[in-house]
Amino acid sequence: MASIDSILRKAANPFDPASFKPGNFWQEQPGRNPTVDSIHEEVLTAIATLLDQISHDHQTRTVVLLGDSGSGKSHLLGRLKQMLNRRAFFVYVGPWADNTYLWRHILRQTVDSLVQVPAGQQESQLLLWLKGLSIFRKKSLLDRLMGDRKGFIRQLRETYRAGIYNANEFFGVLYDLLNPDLHLTACDWLRGDDLDEEALQSIRVKTAINSEDAAQKVLENFGRIAVETQPIVLCFDNLDGIPRQEGFIDLQALFNVNSTIHNQKLKGFLIVISLITNTWVENAKRIQLSDKARVDQTLTLRPINLVQAEGLWQTRLAPLHIQANPPPPPMYPFAREILEQSFPGGKARPRNVLELGRRLFVEYKAGKATATDPYAAFHLIWLKELQKNQQKLVRIRQLASPELAQMLREALTALGMEGVRSRFLPSPKYFLHSFSFQRPGEGDRIGVVWTEEPNATSFFHIMKACQKALDVKLCQSLILIRAEAMPRQTTKGYALLSQIFSQPPHRALVPSLDSVQQLATYYNLLNAAHARDLVIAGKTLSPAELIELVRAAQVFQGCELLQDLAIVPTKAEAKAKVTAPKPEPTMPPAVDRESVRGFILNFVKVNSFLGVQTLIQNGLTQYPQMTAAELEKIIVSLCKERKIQLLDPHAPFLEQLVCYVPDTPCSNH
């Protein structure tokens, strides 16, 4: 076994700043962020106790979880899910586009979470929830009903005699969840997709869940029959990115939802509302007293002590220490004295402890204090977040049209478009699908409508709204964005589509899945910046600072949709493919070798120097489509270009160290 110094020199920084920004716990890799059990143990215990009470008496309860920026609120939600997922179903609810879409957003995020498979289980939370109903505990009855859809519905109606909204259709969709051929369609209906007529007929429902009232009542259905199953934990997080009123985030809208759940006496919910302490202090007085009274408990995450800080360092260093002979001291190459000097009060926030570890690890390897290139660090954070979206966002319709429109609107704002206005379409039912903007220095207003609803009737009404917007001259040019197949040519909606978008300056664009993944990446980072959870090169970024980095780093340059909108310049290789058909939306994007080169170079920059083998392993993790041999060629090419440098050319290639060479030679530790 090698010495600890040799191992540390070759290793990537275990205090990866990408791990400082946990988000949706269903998108995080289990075990990615090591945990010190004693940190916030009393809060975890308090919430677990509440969950036990709900399991016993089925009464819904609400917790407000407070903590300073960097105190570990989102990480704690992930720990809760990891600890208690066998005793409850967990739902992550992030920021929403508009308060008029709030119930639909909660329902969609609820179903999106319920279709996830918990660790150690073979089936999704949704199927586990369904099979927790009493009908499934009577095997003889179930065997008789599984081929009898009407009998299944009748049995559930007899079991739940009152309070179920649209009972025949709702129970019928639950039956279809058990049919592999109809499962996805049933899930899409439950989450509020505006399905086409053929899909609706296949699950025997008349209409989609396309209003706030319908979404609220379907969510209430879950609560009315939850008494027979495990509790459902609704975790609201990253709320600094929600809509604002008079400059303040509109928490009242969320607390209206919370009060409704209590007032309707829905069973089996634990509602956890995670907020930055200052955000709560600034906004609590704007919430009605009757709604605040619906909060059962307020829990606060306190700073950690230095023993717990040591534990954070030790958990990050442990995978490296275990490779060494002889075994090093538990915190090597750090010492307790550094913590005492950095936090003289004996208390710290977890993120500050991790950031100190990141900086000290870089200094240890470089042999001196050194600053991290913020652009290199940002590129790595961007790629990590993009990779999560590529793994979890596998079809565009996973996102609702209002979410897609908002993501594009935020990206255009970041890229300097002017006069960006939401709610462009003159139709209350569909205005969230749209916005308008102006290019810098140009007077013409451009309207954008993004609709992925398969339903032909809904498409017709959206086209009517588009025609009305043009009739009253709300814009000079109109752009329709849609990846979903257009309605049949015999429909009225298709006739209006052809009439409006067949002639310039109006256009219809087909977005790629890769473009949507990039938009979602920026949107997630923006929400993290609003929540003060985005750390780049040791600095916690504000939304304005994130926008500066996005522009300077040009991370959107390869986004096809933004190229089609003429927001970013089209690359030469994209121009050459202008007449070629676009790939199917579900196909993975081809590997951009320039992106791989940039990743390799930035990874070396951020880590000062590291082992070639470690560099290749991280490259394969980021780009699984690549081979080790291809990455070796890129490393050799960067060495020939004197972008990076091998420190011991006489050693075998995979055993060498590599460092970044800007203008001065690397120092060997």
SS3 of 338, please?
A: helix
Considering the domain boundaries, does residue 244 fall inside one? yes
Of 196, 229, 262, which residue sits at a domain end? 229
Same domain as 365, residue 414: no
d(C-alpha 322, C-alpha 184), whole Å: 45
Which one-letter DSSP state was computed for residue 2? B
What DSSP assignment string belongs to 170-239?
A: HHHHHHHTT-TTTHHHHHHHHTT----HHHHHHTT-SS---SHHHHHHHHHHHHHHGGGS--EEEEE--G
Q: What is the pLDDT of residue 665?
A: 47
* Torsion region of 538: left, alpha or beta (phi above 0 gives left; psi -120 to 50 gives alpha): left
Within 13 Å and on the Cβ side, how many CA atoms surround 144? 9
Domain membership flag for residue 31 = no
Q: At what angle do helices 374-392 and 513-530 cross, to 10 degrees?
A: 120
Instruction: Pull the structure tokens for residue 596.
Output: 């791989």
- Asked if residue 117 is part of any domain, the answer here is no
Q: What b-and-e string marks burial along 18-41, b requiring 16 or more CB atoms within 10 Å of the CB?
A: bbbbbbbbbbbeeeebebbeebbe
- Model pTM? 0.91
Alpha carbon distance 310, 427 (integer Å): 57
The verdict on residue 99 lying in a domain is no
How many CB atoms neighbour CB 204 within 10 A?
15
Map 359-412 to HEC letters: HHHHHHHHCCCCCCCHHHHHHHHHHHHHHHHHHHCCCHHHCCHHHHHHHHHHHH
pLDDT of the residue at 585: 40
Contact 65, 44 (CB under 8 A): no
CB-based contacts of 123, cutoff 8 Å, min separation 6 = 117, 131
Nearest to 231 by CA among 40, 46, 96, 49: 49
Using CA atoms, how far apart are residues 603 and 463, in angstroms rounded to an integer? 48
Helices (H), 11-40: none
Under 8 Å between Cβ of 620 and 626: yes
Same domain, residue pair 311 and 268 = no
For residues 542 and 609, state if they share a domain. no
- The three-point CA angle 212-394-517 to 5° equals 85
Sole residue written with tokens 């006739």: 495
Considering the domain architecture, whether residues 449 and 530 belong to the same structural domain is answered as yes
pLDDT of residue 132: 85
Task: Give the burial class of 531: count Cβ atoms within 10 A of its Cβ; 0-12 exposed, 13-18 middle, 19 or more buried.
Answer: buried
Q: How far apart are CA 561 and CA 567, in angstroms?
A: 9
Q: What is the pLDDT of residue 270?
A: 97
Examine the fold and report which residue of 590, 611, 636 is the final residue of a domain before the chain moves on: 590
- Is there a single domain that holds both residue 237 and residue 195? no
Looking at residue 603, which CATH number applies to its domain? 1.10.10.10
Question: Could you tell me if residue 542 is inside a domain?
Answer: yes
Question: CB–CB of 202/149 below 8 Å?
Answer: no
Distance CA 122, CA 135 (A): 21
In this structure, are 283 and 244 located in the same domain?
Answer: yes
Q: How many CA atoms lie within 13 A of 590 on its CB side?
A: 7
In a shared domain, residues 135 and 202: yes
Domain with 61, as residue range(s), is 40-88+231-300
Residues in the chain: 669
Look up the CATH number of the domain holding residue 251.
3.40.50.300
Please check whether residue 30 lies inside any domain of the structure: no
Distance (Å, rounded) from C-alpha 102 to C-alpha 90?
Answer: 19
Closest by CA to 651, choosing from 6, 14, 12, 8, is 6
User: In the Cβ-directed half-sphere of 501, how many Cα atoms lie within 13 Å?
Assistant: 22
The tokens for 552 are: 């300077």
Q: Which residues does 379 contact at the CB level (< 8 Å), separation at least 6?
A: 553, 555, 598, 599, 602
105 burial (CB, 10 Å; 0-12 / 13-18 / 19+) is buried
**Whole-number CA gyration radius for the chain:** 27
Within 10 angstroms of residue 289's Cβ, the number of other Cβ atoms is 7
Given a contact cutoff of 8 angstroms between Cβ atoms, the answer to whether 574 and 563 are in contact is yes
Helices (H) and strands (E) in the chain, counts: 28, 19
Q: Alpha helix (H) ranges present in 566-627? A: 572-576, 593-607, 612-622
Question: Could you tell me the mean pLDDT of each successive run of 10 residues in the chain, 669 residues long?
Answer: 90 84 79 83 97 94 96 94 94 94 96 94 92 78 77 89 90 94 96 94 95 94 84 95 89 96 92 96 94 96 97 95 93 95 96 94 86 91 92 93 96 96 92 95 94 94 96 96 94 95 93 96 94 91 96 93 93 44 42 87 91 94 92 94 88 91 57
Looking at the structure, do residues 139 and 80 belong to the same domain, yes or no? Answer: no
Q: How buried is residue 213: exposed, middle or buried, by Cβ count under 10 Å (0-12/13-18/19+)?
A: exposed
Same domain, yes or no: 223 and 346? no
pLDDT of residue 649: 76
271, part of any domain: yes
Judged on CB neighbours under 10 Å (0-12, 13-18, 19+), 553 is middle
Residue reference for tokens 């800007």: 662
Q: What is the pLDDT of residue 229?
A: 86
Q: Does residue 355 sit in the same domain as residue 410?
A: no
52 found inside a domain = yes
* Residues 345, 217 share a domain: no
Do 415 and 542 have their domain in common?
Answer: yes
Distance CA 592, CA 321 (A): 35
Residue 315, number of CB atoms within 10 A of its CB: 14
What is the DSSP annotation of 72-132?
-HHHHHHHHHHHHTTTSEEEEE---S-GGGHHHHHHHHHHHHHTSPPTT-SS-HHHHHHTT
- State yes or no: cis peptide before 505, omega within 30 of 0: yes
Give the separation between CA 103 and CA 443, rounded to whole angstroms. 37
Domain's final residue, options 572, 590, 608: 590
Total domains present in the chain: 5
